[in-house]
Structure 1
Amino acid sequence: MDKLILGRYIPGNSLIHRLDPRSKLVALFFFILLIFWANNLLTNLLLFVFVFSLLFLSKVPLSFFLKGIQSMIFIIAFTTLFQLFLTSGGKTLFQWGWISITEAGLAQAGIIFSRFVLIICFSTLLTLTTTPLSLSDAVESLLKPLTVFKVPVHEIGLMLSMSLRFVPTLMDDTTRIMNAQRARGVDFGEGSILQKVKSIIPILIPLFASSFKRADALAIAMEARGYNGGEGRSRYRQLSWKMIDNLALLTLLILGILLYFLKNN
């Protein structure tokens, strides 16, 4: 459970930490678009160099990003192997029965693997260098024009903030419950798949119970403090868009222009 780093924040004063959370969110969405533009070795290599440069600037230990990849290793491996063995085209590199590896399959598997790793690293960089409350404020600020269409923007930001805030807490609760069940003789690693699924039930029931209790206590605490939504509500945290945020988005725009020319070669 300690491999899940969603919602965790590492305090720091790096260049990435000081960026406005709104610019980081816009950069994330734009970067995901750029990832799907990359269609060859050179463009993917350029994106990896860019991401590793950001990781260096953030001053966050590389182990945290490796944990983020490890938590998704099954999905990455399954999708990559699926593309490797089931994509046909080009010269056949390996053939064994119905299993074959072609040049097109190898290239497609490499692109899918690169996309997964790049998205995980960039999104992990966002969560590790931005507090959950700042992220929710950024989402609310970016969605503010939708209030014209009666979209509950403040409630969406509040739900996001609570979700990110309590993910580590739920993981800690899960670890505590699993340790308690192990002390009672439950083995989560042995037996068939059906037995492993059944062994999860003693975790889910107390986890749901503790989650509902925590949600009820949180609702009572908010009501006791007079919480009444976002209309006319002042803010303790003020977002500030600086010149460095403009430069960050300009850098991404230049990266996009480079990818546009390189992907056509």
Structure 2
Amino acid sequence: MMEKMIFGRYIPGDSFVHRLDPRSKLMFVFAFIVIVFLANNVMTYGLLLAFTAAVIFMSRIRLYFLINGLKPVILLMIFTFLLHILFTREGNIIVDLGFLKIYEEGLKQGIFISVRFLVLVFVTSILTLTTSPISITDGIETLLNPLKKIKLPVHELALMMSISLRFIPTLMDETDKIMKAQMARGSDLSAGPLKDRLKAIVPLLVPLFVSAFKRAEDLATAMEVRGYRGGEGRTRYRQLKWDSGDTLALLSLVVMAVVLVYFRN
């Protein structure tokens, strides 16, 4: 499962979403995270799902690929849904099995929270899948430029965020390799009591941390020998260009927010 994780991965392409300026995509995602909370009924959550489906379609990223790469997150979403089913006790009882009672409000809230979680994960994943790490760095740095006036190291912050995002799939791949190596030596992380499973994780974490620190050291050395000295005086080979498509993408989000407010209870 680890090698199929898509967090932090970039898939080159020429779709409408790929061609958008990274600044507009970042603004789109942050604004989308806010407007998701405007939904509060079946109609508004249905509109959110339709809007997210349109974004996925325009990115030309296969839905199967998204779902397959987000299996751990989807499992977490299912767990959240079950928690609402079991512990929310409001409204009418729709299922009564004696030991298990499912309330109308619990079912509704479980579905709503799961849909909210799903659309947030899909849209944020589309950002990383359609935007290269260097473009994300440039976009974040440009958006945070006004903070330079208060002496905030904007370039360094943007670079750290981009590197962290980029190293997620690398660490996932490394974890998968170590797990397979441990299994080849007779270690089993999926069997036995919980105590034994926790003990089996220790031989996995130690080489993973060693590998992560080694990669960080190699990256720091590579940046240093190439003359990296921070963002002061640096120029960009690729200049960011705001296009009409970027304006259209943000306007579609504004329209979506207005529609959600209109159809709220």
Kindly indicate whether residue 171 of structure 2 is the aligned counterpart of residue 170 of structure 1: yes
| 1:43/1:263 contact within 8 Å kept | yes
Instruction: State the identity %.
Output: 49
Long gaps (5+) in structure 2: none
Q: Which amino acid is the alignment partner of residue 41 of structure 1?
A: V
Where do 4+ consecutive residues of structure 1 move more than 6 Å?
Answer: none
Residue correspondences, number: 264
> Aligned equivalents of 1:152 and 1:212: distance in 2?
23
| 1:3/1:71 contact within 8 Å kept | no
Q: Which amino acid is the alignment partner of residue 86 of structure 2?
A: F
1:149-228 pair list within 5 angstroms: 149-228=150-229
Per-residue deviation, residues 36-71 of structure 1 (Å, max 9, x unmatched): 111001111111111111111111111221024312
> Aligned equivalents of 1:14 and 1:248: distance in 2?
13
Partner of residue 250, structure 1: 251
TM-score, length-scaled by structure 1: 0.95
> Aligned equivalents of 2:178 and 2:111: distance in 1?
39
Partner of residue 136, structure 2: 135
1:35-74 pair list within 5 angstroms: 35-74=36-75
TM-score, length-scaled by structure 2: 0.95
Kindly indicate whether residue 120 of structure 2 is the aligned counterpart of residue 87 of structure 1: no
Q: Which amino acid is the alignment partner of residue 71 of structure 2?
A: Q
Q: Which amino acid is the alignment partner of residue 8 of structure 2?
A: G
Partner of residue 8, structure 2: 7
Q: Which amino acid is the alignment partner of residue 9 of structure 2?
A: R
Alignment root-mean-square deviation, CA: 1.4
Partner of residue 30, structure 2: 29
Long gaps (5+) in structure 1: none
1:16 aligned counterpart, secondary structure: helix
> Aligned equivalents of 1:78 and 1:179: distance in 2?
27
Q: Which amino acid is the alignment partner of residue 48 of structure 1?
A: L
1:217 aligned counterpart, secondary structure: helix
Alpha carbons of 1:69 and 1:217: their partners in 2 closer, same or farther (altered >3 Å)?
closer
1:17 aligned counterpart, secondary structure: helix
Per-residue deviation, residues 81-102 of structure 1 (Å, max 9, x unmatched): 1222222222111234464211
